Amino acid sequence: MNVLEAIARDAFGRSPDRVQSVRGGDINQAGRIEIGGVRYFVKFKADTPPRFFETEALGLKLLHSAGAIRVPQVIHYTDQPDGERPAYLVLEWIDEVQPSRAFAAKFGQALATLHRHTAPTFGIDLDHLVDGLPQPEPHATSWPAYYRDRRIVPQVERARQLGRLPARRETALRKIIERMDELLAGLNSVPSLLHGDLWGGNYLCAAGDEPVLYDPHTYYGEREAEIAFTELFGGFAPDFYRAYQDAYPLDEGYEYRRPLHQLYHLLVHLNLFGEGYGASVDAVCRRYV
């Protein structure tokens, strides 16, 4: 039996009318199934760790509950493979359309509205995997402490295990870790609801220039970290940033702190893809050490 057919039978109790493989990213395989005239997006993976799709499903539901920006509706998921099908996540299918110029501003405004949803502490009651790498998520009351202990330090330790920390790089990273409170001083951090992995490949434009977010690593964090990541690899129009700033201006000093908030994602990419990201990590270190 086809994997997508097996997933449809498990999730809906019947065979699909149509199935089709689609692009699923670096980690998962993906497909589209159609049942009774309704299309669904399916992500699946043969060797998932515990709570892999549950974490994503709960993150999508949390973003949806904020009512600020559209995310795909969660239909069904399981992290328990069986003999016929792997673990999977079934989501609402949303058609992507070509955006007009109005889209970028609507997107920036919607993200600012999302970031106004706050919590008492940084973190979330979930343990994430960031592209397959462990990401602990206990709570903290201080952003510098959270960013240091729950973001940077685990990735530095991972880089050491993988042999990607030459002595000069490790020394520089250790100095940044020691100075984190100083480097982030003056930032009026509020735990904001974040997508958590917002790059150009994790959003789309739906009908009516409606922005849609997907593939989240949701948590409550410093919103500067989210905006800084959008600037790391590009994919966001100037009107997006203008609209965001008009709706919810960033604190003074963002430009100075931006590379520091990008460092976490550069370390993740160093650990996932190797030394091709080493020079970018070193460049951030030189800025602050």
Distance CA 164, CA 201 (A): 26
- B/e letters for 49-71, b = 16+ CB within 10 Å, e = fewer, are eeebbbbbbbbbebbbeeebbbb
Whether residue 122 is found in the same domain as residue 18: no
Whether residue 29 is found in the same domain as residue 110: no
Whether residue 68 is found in the same domain as residue 45: yes
Whether residue 212 is found in the same domain as residue 165: yes
Tokens at 24, concatenated: 């699923």
For residue 287, the model assigns a pLDDT of 97
For residue 24, the model assigns a pLDDT of 66
Sequence length of the chain is: 289
Range list of β-strands (E), the chain: 18-22, 29-35, 38-45, 74-78, 87-92, 128-130, 133-135, 192-194, 203-206, 210-213, 219-221
- pLDDT tens, position by position, 77-131: 999 988 889 999 999 999 999 999 999 999 999 999 999 999 999 998 765 444 4
Give the domain CATH number at 153.
3.90.1200.10
* 155 falls within a domain: yes
Please, are residues 98 and 16 in contact by the beta-carbon 8 Å criterion? no
> How many structural domains is the chain composed of?
2
Task: Let me know if 197 is a catalytic residue.
Answer: yes
Q: pLDDT tens digits for the chain (289 residues)?
A: 599 999 999 999 999 999 998 876 667 889 999 999 999 999 998 888 888 999 999 999 999 999 999 999 999 999 998 888 999 999 999 999 999 999 999 999 999 999 999 999 999 876 544 444 445 556 688 999 999 999 999 999 999 999 999 999 999 999 999 999 999 998 989 999 999 999 999 999 999 999 999 999 999 999 999 999 999 999 999 999 999 999 999 999 999 999 999 999 999 999 999 999 999 999 999 999 9
At which of 74, 92, 110 does a domain end?
92
At which of 41, 67, 92 does a domain end?
92
> Cβ contacts of residue 28 below 8 Å, gap of 6+?
43, 44, 45
Give the domain CATH number at 58.
3.30.200.20
- Phi then psi for residue 284, to 5 deg, are -65, -40
Sheet holding 29-35, edge to edge: 18-22, 29-35, 38-45, 87-92, 74-78
For residue 138, the model assigns a pLDDT of 61
As beta bridge partners, residue 74 has 91
* 28 falls within a domain: yes
Range of the domain at 177: 102-288
* 97 falls within a domain: no
Whether residue 149 is found in the same domain as residue 274: yes
- pLDDT tens, position by position, 59-82: 999 999 999 999 999 999 999 988
- Phi then psi for residue 239, to 5 deg, are -65, -30
Say what angle helices 278-288 and 254-273 make with each other, to 10 degrees. 150
DSSP character for 63?
A: H
For residue 136, the model assigns a pLDDT of 53
> Cβ contacts of residue 175 below 8 Å, gap of 6+?
285, 288, 289
Whether residue 88 is found in the same domain as residue 106: no
Q: Which of 95, 197, 209, 282 is catalytic?
A: 197
Whether residue 121 is found in the same domain as residue 238: yes
At which of 46, 69, 92 does a domain end?
92
Q: How many CA atoms lie within 13 A of 82 on its CB side?
A: 8
Closest CA to 131 of 13, 28, 37: 28
Closest CA to 150 of 136, 160, 161, 162: 136
